[in-house]
Amino acid sequence: MLIIFRLSKRILDLLHSLVVGSLNAAYKKLCEKENRTILKDLHKKKRFKRKRESSYDQSGANADFVRIDAGDVHHVSPLTGPGIIRHIWMTMDGASSDFYRELQFVLRFDNASTAQIDMPLADFFLFGHGLLVDVNAAPIQVSKQPHITEKPFRGGLNCLFPMPFEDTAAIEIRNTGDTPVMFFYYIDWEAYETLSDPLLHFHATLNEEHTTPPEGQPRQPHGKGAGSIVNKGWKENFTLLEIKGIEGHYVGTVLNVECKPGDAGKWWEGDDMFVIDGEPWPPRLHGTGTEDYFDLAWGFRQVKCRPEYGVTYLDKNETDSDQIDGRFTIYRFHLNDPITFEKSLHSSIEHGHANDCEAYYRSVAYWYGRALP
C-alpha cells in the first residue's frame, strides 16, 4: 500500500508540474505576443504629423496651466482634421472637495449637433464617486499621488482611446462649481492627409437611475435574490446604452453602484443583455450575473485593476453590514471582443435578478459609431 501511495503521489506531482508548467509557458507566450503586437510596427515610417495642444505658458514662464473660474469654460484651440487624437493627459488643483465631478468634459467631433462626450471628468476616468484613485486599464489610466492626502486627491488622468475626426475636434472644460480650478493638459494628436472610410466617431454616454423593483413584484429581503422569479425581457433593466439608426461597435462599460443597508434585493445577481439590431428575445448576448459580465466572480470584494476589467473603488461605512453594501466602481472593456451592430443596440443590465434590487446606478458606455446614410 505504501508503494502504491508513493507512486500515486509521484504521478500527481508530475501531473501538477506538467499543468503548471504548461500554464506558465502559455502565459509567457501571451506576454511575448502582446509585446510583439505593441512593438512590431514601431520601425515603420509613419504617415502623419505629430501635433499637440497644451496648457503651457506661452510667455516662457512656468505658469503652465489655465485658470477656469466658477461658471467659466475653457476652450482648447480647435483641432483641424483629418486627424486622430491619440492621448489626452490632464491634472488639476482647486479648493473644492468635489472638483472632479464639477469639471465637465466635453468633446465634439465634426460639428455634431450633440457632443459625443459630455460628462464630469470623474465619470469618464473610472472614478465616478468623485475621489481620485489609481486606475490601470488599457485605455484609461490614472495615477494617484500618495503624498497628497487632502480629498479629492491629486494625480494624472490619461485617456488612450483613439478619437478620429474628419474636419474638426472641439474640446471644452466647463467649471460648474463655485471655486476656480487650475487646469493643466496635453492633447496629443496626429494630422493625416486622409482617413480610411467609414470613419466611426468615439462616444461616451452617461446614464443614471435610482433603481426600484418592477411594480407588483414581491419585494425581496436585503441581500437575497429573487431566484424563482422569471425575467423574460429587458424593459425593466438598467439601460447602459440605447441607440438607433447607427452602425458601430461597443467597447466598454463603467458602472458605479451605491447600495445601502435595507435596500431590497442583491444587485450582484443582475444579468447583462445586448440586444443587437432589433433581434427578438432572447438576445444572442445574455450574461449570467453582474460580477460575471465584469470578468470577476463571487462578488466585488477588493480593488484590483486589469487591462480590460477591474474594480477601481470600493468604500464602506461603519453601517454597511453586507458584502453588497457600499459604493463600488467596476469596469469592463471590450477591446479584444468589441460588440458590433449594423443599425441599433440596446445594452442593459438587470439591477439584481429580475430587477429586484433598490440601488443607485450610474454608468458610462464607451462606443464607436456613425449615423446611417
Of 153, 172, 191, the one marking the end of a domain is: 191
Residue 86 lies in a domain: yes
Q: Is 198 exposed, middle or buried (0-12, 13-18, 19+ CB in 10 A)?
A: exposed
Find cell 471655486 and name the residue: 179
State the DSSP H helix or E strand holding residue 54, giving kind and residue range, or none if neither: strand 49-54
SS3 at position 267: helix
Q: What is the pLDDT of residue 224?
A: 76
Domain span at residue 83 reads: 49-191
Q: What is the pLDDT of residue 17?
A: 53
* Residue from 120, 68, 64, 129 nearest 95 by CA: 68
Number of alpha carbons in the 13 Å side-chain half-sphere of residue 162:
10
Please give the span between the terminal C-alpha atoms of the chain, in angstroms, as a whole number.
Answer: 77
Q: What is the pLDDT of residue 7?
A: 43
Indicate which CATH number applies to the domain containing 56: 2.60.120.1390
Residue 172 lies in a domain: yes
Q: For residues 84 and 190, is the Cβ–Cβ distance under 8 A? A: yes
Residue 180 lies in a domain: yes
**Are 237 and 276 contained in the same domain?**
yes
Under the banding of pLDDT at 50, 70 and 90, the label for residue 107 is very high
pLDDT in tens, 303-336: 999 999 999 999 987 777 778 888 999 999 999 9
21 has pLDDT over 90: no
**In 101-198, beta strands by DSSP E:** 103-109, 117-120, 135-136, 140-144, 155-159, 163-165, 168-175, 181-191
**Are 338 and 216 contained in the same domain?**
yes
Of 144, 166, 191, the one marking the end of a domain is: 191
Q: How many residues does the chain have?
A: 373
**Alpha helices, DSSP H, located in the chain:** 2-39, 99-102, 121-124, 290-293
* Residue from 230, 257, 261 nearest 356 by CA: 230
**Are 347 and 213 contained in the same domain?**
yes
Q: For residues 221 and 308, is the Cβ–Cβ distance under 8 A? A: no
In angstroms, the CA 247 to CA 227 distance is 36
* Residue from 204, 171, 178, 211 nearest 52 by CA: 171
**Are 209 and 153 contained in the same domain?**
no
Residue 290 lies in a domain: yes
Claim: this prediction has a pTM higher than 0.75: yes
Question: Quick one: DSSP state of residue 294?
Answer: T
For the ranges 26-40, 132-146, 257-271, the lowest mean pLDDT is seen at 26-40
Q: What is the pLDDT of residue 264?
A: 82
**Are 231 and 177 contained in the same domain?**
no
pLDDT in tens, 198-245: 899 999 999 999 999 888 888 888 877 766 788 888 899 999 999 999
pLDDT in tens, 86-103: 999 999 999 999 999 999
34 has pLDDT over 80: no
**Are 170 and 149 contained in the same domain?**
yes
**Are 186 and 228 contained in the same domain?**
no
**Are 225 and 339 contained in the same domain?**
yes
Residue 28 lies in a domain: no
4 has pLDDT over 50: no
Q: Structural domain tally of the chain? A: 2
Of 191, 222, 247, the one marking the end of a domain is: 191
Stretch 185-191: mean pLDDT, rounded? 98
Residue 33 lies in a domain: no
**Are 129 and 206 contained in the same domain?**
no
In angstroms, the CA 173 to CA 108 distance is 12
Q: For residues 339 and 285, is the Cβ–Cβ distance under 8 A? A: yes
In angstroms, the CA 267 to CA 260 distance is 11
Q: What is the mean pLDDT of the chain?
A: 89
Residue 40 lies in a domain: no
**Are 214 and 351 contained in the same domain?**
yes
Q: What is the pLDDT of residue 229?
A: 84
**Are 229 and 174 contained in the same domain?**
no
Under the banding of pLDDT at 50, 70 and 90, the label for residue 27 is very low
SS3 at position 169: strand
**Are 235 and 362 contained in the same domain?**
yes
Name 198's Cβ contacts closer than 8 Å, sequence gap at least 6.
247, 370
Stretch 269-294: mean pLDDT, rounded? 95
Residue 270 lies in a domain: yes
